[in-house]
Each structure stands twice: as structure tokens, then as C-alpha cells.
Amino acid sequence: MPTGPCASVGSSTPGAGSATIVAVSDTLSTSSLRADDVAGEEDAVRIVDEHDGQIVVRQLAPPRPRPRPRGQRPDPPPPLPPDPGPKDVASDPRPTGRRSRLARRASRALAFALIVLGALAVIDGAVTLVWQEPLSALYATLRQDRLAGDLRAIERATPTPQERSALASLPDERRRVAFLARRLERSAPAGSAVGRIVIPRIGASYVVVNGTSTEALKSGPGIYPETGFPGVPGTTAIAGHRTTYLAPFRHIDALRPGNHILLYMPYAHFTYTVIGQHVVSPTNVLAAVSSVGYTRLVLSACTPLFSAARRLLVYAHLTRTVPVGAARVLPGHPAIQPIEAPSIRRPALRHALPTVLESLQPYDLTPLV
């Protein structure tokens, strides 16, 4: 039997597995047992295994509540803790493991996307500098393919009986070509295909559209609405991009006097010969659309590259016209021959001696001393 400040309540015959039950008083429970091992200090039973020396503590049934005297009000219930409200997951400074993993994945995905976008922007800029803007070029290529089909349909179209009667009454081939040119100019919607421009010197070949609006020039070079179509006496001006939307006029600055520009219209093929270039301000529209003493073609584009500060104009005069389609052969008329335009006569430069007060180098200023 273990000794100590405890009184034996009962005993059993010594043997294997035998145990002794000992009652624990208030003083013994606080001195011999830990508070976390015994739930109550007043009533508990300690079972001592004599052979193993182990102590097993069992909690007795809780005491019954004492009856409340009559007339005494029951104690009010304890106040409930304040409601913290819905927990804001986004403002929780201690993110859970799942949310932190998602945040790390999202940040890595965002960083990767930004790296890819930056690389694409650098590649796009490099390709634009060397060649042209690739995304707008793809868009313009699709538009050019569609316009090429529309142009073939216009070329295969036959004139109406009224138009054929009007053409038969015009014996002069130039007047027939002009008649068909004006008819197409009136009937062609803005941005529609009206012809094809070919510049062998720079390897350019594009479908020409009617008009020079922002939307029309996305499809290809466009004819100024202030000028007439090729075949109408006067000036025909065509504008085009140099860095975007296939950049059809990117290299027109390489054209030199004597180079040829070809315009294939549904009613005639025109050959123009370059005579010079000129750089003007964007507001000087008359330099491109004004009429001169001969039939000419003017190409217009922004300059320098990647800037719209100035306009580059390339001038060419008409040298040859070949009627095609409805203007080529008419019933009762012989086959029409190509129309050769007269060459332009330039006035000879007079080399006179300068006056005494005229400077030989007007752009060099001598500083005052």
C-alpha cells in the first residue's frame, strides 16, 4: 500500500491487477494532483494500481444544482460576446495557405504576361523600323485581297445600252476614255476599288481606292476627291501611307526623273513619267491638287518616316494611254491605238551674271564685325 497523506477507503486481496480506491480531500487534491488532471477538487476518486504504480483519476458525477428559494429571480444570462461581423478575407493580414499560393501564381502569371507584351512591343518596333508595322500590314493585306476581287468584277462588267450608245457617239478615243472615267468617278463608293497602281522602280503594286479618308487609306492608296480620275484632263493626286497599312508609298522618295508610274484603270492603262519631287507643309493642299498646263499625276505621303510634319510630293506627267474594256473596240469603229501624250517643254534657264548686290550664296550669312 502506498503511504502518504491519504486515507484508505477500501482494499482488495493482493494479486495481479488489484487496485486500491482512495478518497481525495480538498487539501490532498491541491497538493497531490495537478489542476489539469483533475476537473474538480471536491469530489474525485483515485485508483492506485499496486503492482504497476500507476494512478488513474476518475471524475465523479457533477453535483445537482441547489434549489432556488421562492421569490428569488433567476440570475440573468451572461452577455453574449460582440458580433465581429463578416470576416473580410481580403483585409486579413494573415492569408491562408491556399490564398497565398493563388496570389503567388497570379503574380507570376502577371509578370510573365508583362514580359511577353514588352518583348512583342520591342519586336513590333524593330520590324516597323526595318520594314513596316506588321499588325496593320496584315489587316491591309486582307483588305487588298478583297479589293482585288472587286476590281476584277468591275473590269469584267459591260456598259449598259445607254452607255454604249453614248460611247458610239464619241468618235474621239480621248473623249471615250474621259466619259468612262467620269462614270466610274460618280458611281464608285468611298473606299471602293477603282484601279491598280504599279511603280516598277520600288516594286509597288496596290489596288487604288476612291477617297483619302482615314478608313479608306487603311485599305490602300486613295485618289484625292478634289482631283479627277485618270483619263480626265488635269491633275490626279493619290495619297498613301509610308509606315503603316502595307506602307505602299514608303519608298517613293527613291523615285527619280524618268522613272515610270503605271495606273491600270478598268477603262484604260496610263503611263506617267516622273519629273521631280517637292516637300511642302501639310496645309499646302493646293501643291498636290492644283491644275497645271498638262495632265499629271501627284503622289503624296508623309515625310520624314514616322512623322507627319511634312508632305512629300512626287510629280509625273502623262506620257501614254491605252484604252481597254468598253473603250477599246466599238462596233463600226476600228481598233483603238495607244494615245501618246506630247512631251513637256521646259523653259530654258537663263544664265545671267548676278548684279553687284546679289549674293552668290544667299543662304550663307556673314557675321557683322
Tens-digit pLDDT profile for residues 30-44: 444 444 444 444 455
Same domain membership, residue 180 and residue 317? yes
Region 204-209 average pLDDT: 98
Q: Is there a domain that residue 188 lies in? A: yes
Q: Are strands 222-223 and 204-210 parallel, antiparallel or unpaired?
A: parallel
Q: Taking the model in full, what pTM does it have?
A: 0.62
Cβ atoms of residues 261 and 205 within 8 Å: no
Which of the pair, 66 or 366, is modelled with greater confidence? 66
CATH of the domain at 188: 2.40.260.10
Q: Is there a domain that residue 208 lies in? A: yes
Q: Is there a domain that residue 72 lies in? A: no
Q: How sure is the predictor about 177, in pLDDT bands with cuts at 50, 70 and 90?
A: very high
Choice among 79-88, 98-107, 230-239, 259-268 with the minimum mean pLDDT: 79-88
Region 14-35 average pLDDT: 41
Query: Quick one: pLDDT at residue 60?
Result: 58
Same domain membership, residue 120 and residue 137? no
Q: Is there a domain that residue 89 lies in? A: no
Same domain membership, residue 266 and residue 180? yes
Place of cell 482631283: 227
CA distances 259 to 193, 295, 322, 342, Å, are 25, 17, 19, 17
Alpha helices in 171-271 (DSSP H): 173-187, 214-217
- Provide the phi-psi class of 325: left if phi over 0, else alpha when psi is between -120 and 50, else beta: left
Same domain membership, residue 284 and residue 273? yes
Find how far residue 230's CA is from the centre of its chain.
36
Q: Give, in degrees to the nearest 5, the angle at Cα 204 between 146 and 145.
A: 10
Same domain membership, residue 108 and residue 23? no
Same domain membership, residue 159 and residue 118? no
% the chain with pLDDT above 70 = 62
**Count of structural domains within the chain:** 3
Same domain membership, residue 207 and residue 109? no
Q: How sure is the predictor about 360, in pLDDT bands with cuts at 50, 70 and 90?
A: very low
Same domain membership, residue 329 and residue 190? yes
Residue whose C-alpha is closest to residue 327's, from 194, 178, 207: 178
Q: Is there a domain that residue 55 lies in? A: yes
Grid coordinates in use for 91?
Answer: 483585409
Q: Is there a domain that residue 171 lies in? A: yes
Domain boundary among 26, 60, 94: 60
Instruction: Look up the domain containing 119 and give its range.
Output: 102-131
Long-range contacts of 163-171 (CB under 8 A, 24+ apart): 163/326, 164/326, 164/330, 167/326, 167/327, 167/330, 168/330, 168/331, 168/332, 168/333, 171/333
Q: Is there a domain that residue 69 lies in? A: no
Q: What torsion do the CA atoms of 6, 9, 13, 14 make, to the nearest 10 degrees?
A: -10
- C-alpha 236/C-alpha 271 separation (Å) is 13
Same domain membership, residue 106 and residue 151? no
Same domain membership, residue 123 and residue 107? yes
Same domain membership, residue 285 and residue 266? yes
Q: Is there a domain that residue 41 lies in? A: yes
DSSP state of 101: H
Region 25-31 average pLDDT: 41
Cβ atoms of residues 32 and 4 within 8 Å: yes
Domain boundary among 88, 113, 131: 131
- pLDDT per residue over 113-137, tens digit each? 888 877 777 666 666 555 567 788 8
Same domain membership, residue 34 and residue 15? yes
349: pLDDT strictly greater than 80: no
Region 223-247 average pLDDT: 95
